[in-house]
Structure 1
Amino acid sequence: MNSFVSASTVEAKPAAAEDVVRLVNVKRSFGDTAALDGISLSVRKGEIFGIIGRSGAGKSTLIRCLNGLERPDSGEIRIEGRDIVGLAENELQPVRRRIGMVFQHFNLLSAKTVEENVALPLKIEGIAKSERLARARELLDLVGLADKAKAYPASLSGGQKQRVGIARALAARPALLLSDEATSALDPETTRSILALLKDINGKLGLTIVLITHEMEVIRGIADRVAVIDAGRIVEEGQVWSIFGNPESAITKSLLAGIRPQLPEHVAARLSSAGGTEAILSVDLAGPQAQGALFADLSAAHPHSFRLVHGGIDHIQSQPVARFFIAVPTRDPGLKDEVEQFLTARSARVEVLGYDTDHV
């Protein structure tokens, strides 16, 4: 292990209850449009916190407020306990040095070598050349690019450029790393390698990371907690496994549609609001109940009460998360209600999607 990793691990040991970021009722409008409409959240030291939403949800404005580039109209933004709202530009500078930024399009200087790009924040601070280049080499070793120190950005792949961007963001030993859509320009395999690197850095350095993204796979890959933002408001927040297992808001369900089991299209196409031979139910479970003998117990309690249409079990943050679709015969008017009650009593979220008009 190199000296940089071991020293930083000692320096950055997290205090679990300490908030690095705390927002209280933050509002920011542009004309009549509310980009942020009362955002409140906290990010604990050493945590990877995801903020996800569609384009135009307010993510970009939020991240610009976090690093002081955008001033909110009202509310508090505390970084390591200090409210940065209202600070003069010269007062913001030391706060910004505690914040590293990783960008979607890398923002590397093409005329400078890799090590010069990494060392640039330290040059701006006036750190001696020998010290800043030594720091750059340590960081390039950390991100797996020690052999690229003298190369220029044009010779690097997209994933390598992002690794350089991450190394540069760590140059000034920040307390907080902001990742602004850092993987959205990368292919899936490279994305996984960058997420693994961020997770590794978080573990080794105890670094607090806030991920801004529109990709649920990114959140699933490394985040501890997630906030879903829509129209400038947080519509859902919690542990990643819990949100994935039991999404409540329509926007969260929509964002998850690509990575959670969905009712097969040919079944969904023939559903009606009433009058079918079977009621189609979605059943969402998270935690221990998701891998228990739920359907075996249901069959024992109510024989011939359902058939399994589609679904599966996943594991997120070592927690089982499941979604199933079942069909309940409508021949007995009370059977659907009995099945729903049985499932909800066992912590399942149940929704009647409609009635199958064609199944025999």
Structure 2
Amino acid sequence: MNSHPFLSAQIAPLAPADAVVTLSGVRRRFNDTVALDGISLSVRKGEILGIIGRSGAGKSTLIRCLNGLERPDSGEITIEGKRIDGLPERQLQPLRRRIGMIFQHFNLLSAKTVEANVALPLKIEGLPKAERMARARDLLELVGLSDKAKAYPAQLSGGQKQRVGIARALAARPALLLSDEATSALDPETTRSILALLKDINRKLGLTIILITHEMDVVRSIADRVAVIDAGRIVETGTVQSVFANPQAPITQRLLEGSRPRLPEHVAARLNPAGEAIILGVDLSGPYGQSRFFTDLADALSAGASLIQGGVEHIQDESVGRFFLSLPARDANLVERVRSTLQAGGAHVEVLGHV
């Protein structure tokens, strides 16, 4: 039996009735390389799911299986209640129209105007010109580019090109939008504007979105849930706030290292099984981080605890915090009182060691 420490994350519950996407035991290998190793996942209607992992983790293969460009070796993929993993190409084509794609490098046709690029999927579908151009105009208004309809891609900035890519992906009124590293070629300010646009489209259209990314800030900005992929497996899933507040898988912890307060190196280097002070790591999210936590923290400091480092940030509408406390090891009652008080408020408290 496989002893992967987070294998339980692979065993997904039955897909909810409103699931747009369901994957069950999906496997894909290329010769001796395992790209996907039993992926099970479901995505609800109207949800934004961020799938994050390092290069080579399996993200690209996963998205190619979702849009039918790769066929899994085993397992099932269901889009809107219809299995796509075993369909012949002829039957797969109409289902692909229900899936919009936006890409890292935009993939626009340089010889076509902006409105012609947006209307292209509708032309392939066989819609009359008047209908597809009307749809293109509506979509360009949605993404804030009405004045660029007659421009060519070479005349646009990177952010504008991605807005065109988003409009084109929405042309056929998809049920699912796949974003493949769509902001990684953009500067931070443009990235924020594109993510805000995707969130706005999600709200206005109720569109289900899957974001494939290696950037935690992308997930933090707009996703409802996050799934962490490593070596072809989903090793952790949860709401964005819960995963950022208390990451479980080692790879998630490493991915978040630059986004969360860390124990200072000079303290971390001295951690031992025994010592004069006990070091606690405190992770919290939700209302507790906006109110009573600081009263409890002040009480702990006045009783003899020391604050090493920490802070609270907002991820979307929820507070997420991480703190490190030092308490005298000789005062077992104080240590237990502080730990039980913080845990009663909803914080996760961990003894990191002694110094």
- Determine the C-alpha separation between the residues in 2 that align with 1:126 and 1:224: 36
The residue that corresponds to 1:172 in the other structure is 172
- Determine the C-alpha separation between the residues in 1 that align with 2:300 and 2:251: 35
The residue that corresponds to 1:244 in the other structure is 244
- Determine the C-alpha separation between the residues in 2 that align with 1:122 and 1:298: 59
- Determine the C-alpha separation between the residues in 2 that align with 1:292 and 1:329: 26
The residue that corresponds to 1:355 in the other structure is 354
The residue that corresponds to 1:35 in the other structure is 35
Kindly indicate whether the alpha-carbon contact (under 8 Å) linking 1:24 and 1:40 is maintained by their aligned counterparts in 2: yes
Kindly indicate whether the alpha-carbon contact (under 8 Å) linking 2:223 and 2:240 is maintained by their aligned counterparts in 1: yes
Kindly indicate whether the alpha-carbon contact (under 8 Å) linking 2:20 and 2:79 is maintained by their aligned counterparts in 1: yes
- Amino acid in the other structure paired with 1:212: I
Could you tell me the percent identity over the aligned residues? 71
- Amino acid in the other structure paired with 2:186: L
**1:202 to partner: Cα distance:** 0.8
- Amino acid in the other structure paired with 1:34: V
**1:315 to partner: Cα distance:** 2.1
- Determine the C-alpha separation between the residues in 1 that align with 2:299 and 2:279: 20
1:340 lines up with 2:342 in the alignment: no
CA shift digits 1:151-210 (9 cap, x unpaired): 111111100000000001011111110000000110110000000000111111111111
1:55 lines up with 2:90 in the alignment: no
Matches within 5 A, 1:85-234: 85-234=85-234
Kindly indicate whether the alpha-carbon contact (under 8 Å) linking 2:227 and 2:234 is maintained by their aligned counterparts in 1: yes
**1:47 to partner: Cα distance:** 1.0
**1:312 to partner: Cα distance:** 1.1
- Determine the C-alpha separation between the residues in 2 that align with 1:299 and 1:259: 25
CA 1:188–1:301 in 2, change beyond 3 Å: closer, same or farther? Answer: closer
- Determine the C-alpha separation between the residues in 2 that align with 1:341 and 1:249: 25
- Amino acid in the other structure paired with 2:83: D
- Amino acid in the other structure paired with 1:33: T
1:73 lines up with 2:66 in the alignment: no
Kindly indicate whether the alpha-carbon contact (under 8 Å) linking 1:35 and 1:61 is maintained by their aligned counterparts in 2: yes
**1:32 to partner: Cα distance:** 2.3
The residue that corresponds to 1:328 in the other structure is 327
TM-score by length of 2: 0.90
The residue that corresponds to 2:6 in the other structure is none
**1:355 to partner: Cα distance:** 3.2
CA shift digits 1:73-132 (9 cap, x unpaired): 111100000011110000000110000000001011111111111111111112222221
CA shift digits 1:199-237 (9 cap, x unpaired): 111111111111111111111111111111111111111
**1:138 to partner: Cα distance:** 1.1
- Determine the C-alpha separation between the residues in 2 that align with 1:258 and 1:301: 28
- Amino acid in the other structure paired with 2:173: R
Kindly indicate whether the alpha-carbon contact (under 8 Å) linking 2:313 and 2:321 is maintained by their aligned counterparts in 1: yes
Kindly indicate whether the alpha-carbon contact (under 8 Å) linking 1:21 and 1:80 is maintained by their aligned counterparts in 2: yes
> What's the Cα RMSD here?
1.9
- Determine the C-alpha separation between the residues in 2 that align with 1:219 and 1:301: 34
Kindly indicate whether the alpha-carbon contact (under 8 Å) linking 2:50 and 2:213 is maintained by their aligned counterparts in 1: yes
**Number of aligned pairs?**
340
Kindly indicate whether the alpha-carbon contact (under 8 Å) linking 1:298 and 1:342 is maintained by their aligned counterparts in 2: no
- Determine the C-alpha separation between the residues in 2 that align with 1:69 and 1:268: 46
CA 1:231–1:106 in 2, change beyond 3 Å: closer, same or farther? Answer: same
CA 1:108–1:301 in 2, change beyond 3 Å: closer, same or farther? Answer: closer
CA 1:90–1:293 in 2, change beyond 3 Å: closer, same or farther? Answer: same
CA 1:226–1:301 in 2, change beyond 3 Å: closer, same or farther? Answer: closer
Deviates more, 1:110-119 or 1:283-292: 283-292
CA 1:335–1:201 in 2, change beyond 3 Å: closer, same or farther? Answer: same
- Amino acid in the other structure paired with 2:248: E
- Determine the C-alpha separation between the residues in 1 that align with 2:302 and 2:294: 11
**1:263 to partner: Cα distance:** 2.0
**1:267 to partner: Cα distance:** 3.4
- Determine the C-alpha separation between the residues in 2 that align with 1:241 and 1:220: 8
Kindly indicate whether the alpha-carbon contact (under 8 Å) linking 2:296 and 2:341 is maintained by their aligned counterparts in 1: no
**1:17 to partner: Cα distance:** 4.8
The residue that corresponds to 1:84 in the other structure is 84
- Amino acid in the other structure paired with 1:286: S
- Determine the C-alpha separation between the residues in 2 that align with 1:300 and 1:55: 45
TM-score by length of 1: 0.89
Kindly indicate whether the alpha-carbon contact (under 8 Å) linking 2:296 and 2:342 is maintained by their aligned counterparts in 1: no
The residue that corresponds to 2:315 in the other structure is 316
**1:292 to partner: Cα distance:** 3.6
- Determine the C-alpha separation between the residues in 1 that align with 2:31 and 2:222: 36
- Determine the C-alpha separation between the residues in 1 that align with 2:111 and 2:203: 33
Structure 2 unpaired stretches of 5+: 1-15
Structure 1 unpaired stretches of 5+: 1-15
Kindly indicate whether the alpha-carbon contact (under 8 Å) linking 1:175 and 1:207 is maintained by their aligned counterparts in 2: yes
